[in-house]
Amino acid sequence: MYRILTLVILVVFLLLALFFPMKISYNLESIGTIYPIEEWKITQDGTGNLIGTHRFNVTGITGKINSWQFKAGDLSGMEVVIKPDSLVHVHQGDTLIRMYSTMVLEQILDYTTQLNILKSQTNELVTGEKSQIIREAQAKLDFAKEQLVIKEKEYKIAKELFDGGAIAGLEFSQKDNAYQLAKIEIDRATKDLQIVETGQKHETVKVNQTQIDAIQKKLDYLRKVNTGYVITAPFEGEIKPCELPEEVIQLKKMNVCLVEIPIKVEDMKYINEHSTIEVLDARDNITYHGKLLRKGTNSRILDYKSVSFLLAELAIPENQSITLGIGAKCKIKCDELSQFDYLKRILNYNLHVK
């Protein structure tokens, strides 16, 4: 009975197509995947080095890779300025991460000590207050010795923990570095005391002042450099939650997004530059209009069917956000078909890629 009814409908449809030719609107429907047009993320490897990758999803190319490498124990601090587990809108050039270098801090300490010694020597030359300078140098040496005892204890504890696998190599390197710096400070304080006690390397006030000015400029530069170890946002976008433990922060450009839509290979011929694309975000029930960028040049098997992919661009209005990932309901409005083409398509409807 059903076969006879289907045959009758088919005959009627063919007769109408023969005597009353017309065009029929034809749409394709599928489920697409939403991507941001650009993605940038910072990851940290096991040695503490930071790696930044900037990916352009239109081409699928990682266009830029940055690496912030430090010697073992050099990176003494890192601060994420914004919380990486919260959604935050940032602008291009905003500071996201600050870093601090042990080596720069050591240079600052060294120049600060030199500056203080030169100022003390200059004061001695002007006022003759040498005994006070000697007492200050002795106090610095005593303090350095106390610090060495503390740093040595911390180093020994860290070494035992590191040998037992309880702490990471980066943390042990920092303790080792602090211990070595404490030793250096002992030597420096000892030499400073010897200088003020013996009166070696006395310079004129004019020469001392020249050296003081030069060291002060170096100090100002190093302090500026140490606060300049920053990572800034390469573009305006939104900070998204990190997905992997090694990720420090990830930024996505959300004012323009891409949608990748699987389409049955034989249906690709119905799609051209005049086709319109509508994407429904089921979360907010908002429809976005897409601009076709390209049709896929290769195909793959999906759900036992040969499909290809088309890529479209979506402009996201300000103060709106689209749901990323798989799940976008997509409708492609194709060229109008004749009754014969439409009938052929209907007969294969059950093979359509949803």
Please tell me the predicted confidence (pLDDT) of residue 299. Answer: 78
Strands 23-24 and 337-338: antiparallel
Going along the chain, which residue ranges are E strands? Answer: 23-24, 27-44, 50-56, 61-68, 75-80, 88-90, 95-101, 230-232, 237-240, 247-264, 276-281, 286-302, 305-315, 325-333, 337-338
Q: Which two tokens stand for residue 286?
A: 């908002």
Distance CA 258, CA 260 (A): 7
pTM for the whole structure: 0.56
- Do residues 110 and 188 make contact, with C-beta atoms less than 8 angstroms apart? yes
Please tell me the predicted confidence (pLDDT) of residue 351. Answer: 41
In sequence order, the 6+-apart residues with CB closer than 8 A to the CB of 245 are none
Q: Which helix (H) or strand (E) holds 80?
A: strand 75-80
In sequence order, the 6+-apart residues with CB closer than 8 A to the CB of 29 are 329, 330, 331, 332, 352, 354
Please tell me the predicted confidence (pLDDT) of residue 136. Answer: 79
Eight-class DSSP state of 81: S
User: If 0-12 CB within 10 Å is exposed, 13-18 middle and 19+ buried, where does residue 244 land?
Assistant: exposed
Eight-class DSSP state of 322: P
Distance CA 17, CA 15 (A): 5
Distance CA 258, CA 57 (A): 8
Q: Which two tokens stand for residue 227?
A: 């606060």
- Do residues 128 and 112 make contact, with C-beta atoms less than 8 angstroms apart? no
Backbone φ and ψ for 272, nearest 5 degrees, come out as -145, -170
Task: Quickly tell me which residue has 């030793």 as its tokens.
Answer: 183
Strand-pairing partners, residue 185, are none
Please tell me the predicted confidence (pLDDT) of residue 207. Answer: 64
Dihedral sign computed on CA atoms, order 276, 277, 280, 285: negative
Give the SS3 label for residue 194. Answer: helix
Alpha carbon 233 to its chain's center: 8
Task: Quickly tell me which residue has 């069917």 as its tokens.
Answer: 305
Distance CA 57, CA 260 (A): 11
Please tell me the predicted confidence (pLDDT) of residue 200. Answer: 46
Strands 286-302 and 247-264: unpaired
Distance CA 284, CA 321 (A): 9
Give per-10-residue mean pLDDT for the chain (354 aa).
Answer: 65 61 75 93 80 89 74 62 69 82 75 80 61 76 85 83 73 79 85 67 60 81 69 88 84 93 86 88 89 82 84 90 89 75 59 42
